[in-house]
């Protein structure tokens, strides 16, 4: 089963930079998720994201929504 998600242009560019040759975007997300890491570490890799205080808030809100959806199923 597949799900459709929306990404900002900036998020797409960041994900695309991490995508390896021959790898699907799903494979990329799974690989990066397995590698773990903290949001602060990711932001440190991308200086253009520094000072984007809304980013951490958006991640927390999306995580909370996802947790609620998972808990109800």
Give the pLDDT confidence score for residue 23 in this predicted structure.
94
Pair of tokens at residue 71: 């808990």
User: What is residue 73's predicted lDDT score, i.e. its pLDDT?
Assistant: 66
With CA atoms as reference, report the closest residue to 32 among 14, 55, 53, 13.
Answer: 14
pLDDT of residue 58 exceeding 90: no
Confirm whether 22 is domain-assigned: yes
The CA–CA distances, whole Å, from 50 to 5, 21, 25, 61, 72 equal 24, 28, 25, 19, 35
Is 64 among the domain residues? yes
What number of residues does the chain have? 73
* 17-21, 56-60, 62-66: the lowest-pLDDT one: 56-60
Domain that holds residue 46: 9-72
Asked if residue 4 is part of any domain, the answer here is no
66 contacts 58 by C-beta, under 8 angstroms: no
| Digit-coded pLDDT (tens) for 25-47 | 999 888 888 766 665 556 566 66
Task: Note whether residue 37 is domain-resident.
Answer: yes
Percentage of the chain modeled with pLDDT above 70: 70
How many domains in the chain? 1
**Is there a domain that residue 34 lies in?**
yes
State the pLDDT at residue 43: 55
In a domain, 65, yes or no: yes
CA angle 50, 54, 57 (to 5 degrees): 120
């Amino acid at each position: 089963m597949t799900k459709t998600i929306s990404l900002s242009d900036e998020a797409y560019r960041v994900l695309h930079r991490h995508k390896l040759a021959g790898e699907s975007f799903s494979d990329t997300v799974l690989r990066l998720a397995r590698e773990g890491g903290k949001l602060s570490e990711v932001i440190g890799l991308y200086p253009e994201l520094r000072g984007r205080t809304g980013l951490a808030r958006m991640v927390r809100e999306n995580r909370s929504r996802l947790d609620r959806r998972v808990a109800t199923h």
